């Protein structure tokens, strides 16, 4: 019997941080982010089209 409680279980979380996109979402970006649990974009967006492109990514969190 283990002395560890259920609360002490460790979970690994992969977070991808996307920055400096210069208002572009490269084609290679979505496949590169596929294995991440969360994708964070704390970047600056100057064009609405870029925001639309970023919103198509899975598990994206846009931080303004």
Tell me the pLDDT tens digit for each residue of 24-37.
Answer: 888 888 888 888 99
User: What is the spatial distance between Cα 58 and Cα 41, in angstroms, rounded to a whole number?
Assistant: 12
pLDDT tier at 3 (50, 70, 90 boundaries)? low
User: What is the spatial distance between Cα 41 and Cα 54, in angstroms, rounded to a whole number?
Assistant: 8
pLDDT attached to residue 14: 92
The DSSP element (H or E) to which 48 belongs, if any, is helix 48-55
Q: What is the mean pLDDT of the chain?
A: 80
Residue 44 has pLDDT above 70, yes or no: yes
List the structure tokens of 16. 């991808």
User: What is the spatial distance between Cα 58 and Cα 43, in angstroms, rounded to a whole number?
Assistant: 17
pLDDT attached to residue 9: 78
Stronger pLDDT, 4 or 48, i.e. the higher one: 48
């Amino acid at each position: 019997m283990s002395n560890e409680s259920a609360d002490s279980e460790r979970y690994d979380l992969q977070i991808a941080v996307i920055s400096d996109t210069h208002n572009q979402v490269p084609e290679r970006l979505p496949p590169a982010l596929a294995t991440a649990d969360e994708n964070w974009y704390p970047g600056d967006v100057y064009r609405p089209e870029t925001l639309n492109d970023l919103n198509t990514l899975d598990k994206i969190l846009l931080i303004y």
